């Protein structure tokens, strides 16, 4: 119901159908034209392109650990504390190994290291060309987030991560029965 209309006047008004109300609202609140991204947007997109590219470069220069995890220790990072304390792999265990396999197109090995690494790798790879086009065309960050439904991708990635974690926790429990 539009502002200033009572329920009674809305019922008697022939133009109160949902379609006509939507048109009236659209006319009352027009969508502004596309906003150009400024310097900050271009800087953000440049970083969004460079970070995955750097990660892929590093992954290419690492040797995947045959254990399916701990490849990151080649960078001087400590072993996974969760794995050392519990003996169970955390959700992030094997991501570096998975990425290291993915840059070599070793999909099966990547999935065995950490299945979550595959969609995360693909999402990261998609960010590079989209971000570079956004830098050149001057797109705003918000526009790209909305246009490419990045929120849905992030929810999908989070759900995949949780699913992998549940499978990792449940598998030893089921095997022990």
Taking the C-alpha atoms of residue 133 and residue 102, their distance in angstroms, rounded to an integer, is 24
pLDDT of residue 18: 66
Which single residue is written with the structure tokens 């001057």?
138
Amino acid 22: pLDDT: 60
d(CA 90, CA 171): 13
Q: Cβ atoms within 10 A of the Cβ of 87, count?
A: 8
Q: Give the pLDDT of the chain (177 residues) as one tens digit per residue.
A: 445 545 555 555 555 666 676 666 556 655 444 567 789 999 999 999 999 999 999 999 999 999 999 999 999 999 999 999 988 888 899 999 999 999 999 999 999 999 999 999 999 999 999 999 999 999 999 989 998 999 999 999 999 999 999 998 888 778 776
- This model's pTM is above 0.85: no
| Number of other CB atoms surrounding residue 55 within 10 Å | 15
Distance linking the first and last C-alpha atoms of the chain:
60
């Amino acid at each position: 119901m539009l502002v200033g209309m009572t329920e009674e006047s809305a019922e008697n008004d022939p133009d109160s159908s949902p379609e006509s109300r939507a048109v009236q609202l659209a006319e009352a609140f027009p969508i502004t034209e596309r906003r150009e991204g400024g310097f900050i947007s271009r800087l953000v997109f440049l970083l969004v392109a460079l970070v995955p590219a750097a990660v892929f470069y590093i992954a290419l220069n690492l040797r995947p650990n045959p254990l399916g995890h701990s490849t990151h220790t080649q960078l001087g990072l400590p072993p996974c504390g969760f794995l050392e304390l519990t003996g169970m792999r955390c959700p992030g265990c094997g991501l570096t190994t998975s990425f290291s396999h993915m840059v070599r197109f070793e999909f099966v090995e990547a999935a065995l290291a950490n299945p979550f690494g595959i969609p995360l790798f693909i999402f990261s790879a998609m960010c590079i060309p989209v971000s570079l086009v956004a830098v050149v065309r001057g797109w705003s960050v918000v526009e790209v987030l909305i246009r490419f439904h990045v929120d849905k991708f992030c929810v999908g990635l989070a759900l995949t991560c949780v699913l992998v974690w549940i499978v990792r926790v449940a598998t030893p429990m089921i095997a022990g029965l």
